Structure 1
């Protein structure tokens, strides 16, 4: 094999490796972070702080909440629009759903990207939250959550009712930055 053919093979191999890395970076993250501060809506006292950290194909969602109904569960979702300006947070739009799937159990593959497990409050209406999820990215791309909103609902998500799990009014909302 002559020197030019060897160089061409090495160049093509390098290009292939770069393409593989580029494709993988679209599907997974390496520590990208985003956060949201949730303010009360719909006359509630609910508020909170949420962080999103991309870890490979999953996103670790962590949060602290207060002003919730004591000893209860509340629906929790990423919504499509980064707008919490309405007093009832309806300006945030529907659940984030880039793949136009039905609403469902988080991580089931049969759910909106924005479907997350319910928040569970203690006797004082406070909650600490942690969930590892997939189906969305911590960026501003088509599957990204940056620039969207995160919403706490008054009632628990039943993960069955369409299109949003029958989780009631939006009691807290924050922009994901």
Structure 2
């Protein structure tokens, strides 16, 4: 009888320890499952947003020197255009997207005419207009510097669209010597081309 009394508590202790171990293993397994589930929920990249699509255009003068830049950014309303340049004559200057992505100094005639895929009239306010490439005039200060921003509503940077600035081999952005009057066909009587930047 004495031997049975000694063995039973030991057996009970072993069973108890085994049960505790199993319980701990079970808790760890459950805990591990919870961690795994949480990692799936918070997996990086699920809520990240893509950066806006932007293009930087290098504007060169008749001497082939960089006179400024134009940053183009695709938006819901069109293409946002931010022009920063210096060394330009004071006053208002016509600014247009042109149909060919070639800027050969000094006259930049290689850029062709205004970008006009729908063959409309020139002028932002003209009946039957505007050209897709028509843009507001730039206004240069007495210091020769311009920092202007606006939205071009008739073009896009999306390559699959018929009014894309990346059509075929691309387009160009041209600054003229004079103000675009918004009426005279086909280019607003805005004078010579004094700066040009390739878009492609």
- Is TM more than 0.5 here? yes
Shift of 1:79: 0.2
**How far apart, CA to CA, are the structure 1 residues paired with 2:95 and 2:147?**
13
| CA 1:172–1:106: 2 relative to 1, 3 Å | farther
Alignment of 1:106-121 (within 5 A): 110-121=129-140
Question: Alignment length, in residue pairs?
Answer: 146
More strand by share: 1
| CA 1:78–1:125: 2 relative to 1, 3 Å | same
**How far apart, CA to CA, are the structure 2 residues paired with 1:171 and 1:101?**
25
Determine the structure 2 residue equivalent to 1:154: 177
Could you tell me the TM-score, scaled by structure 2's length? 0.67
- Structure 2 gaps of 5+ residues are 1-50
**How far apart, CA to CA, are the structure 2 residues paired with 1:66 and 1:106?**
28
More helix by share: 2
| CA 1:123–1:44: 2 relative to 1, 3 Å | farther
Shift of 1:108: 8.3
Determine the structure 2 residue equivalent to 1:175: 198
Which structure has the greater CA radius of gyration?
Answer: 2
| CA 1:56–1:109: 2 relative to 1, 3 Å | farther
**How far apart, CA to CA, are the structure 2 residues paired with 1:68 and 1:168?**
14
**1:164 correspondence with 2:184:** no
**How far apart, CA to CA, are the structure 1 residues paired with 2:59 and 2:66?**
8
Higher relative contact order (CA 8 A, sep 6+): 1
- Structure 1 gaps of 5+ residues are 1-29
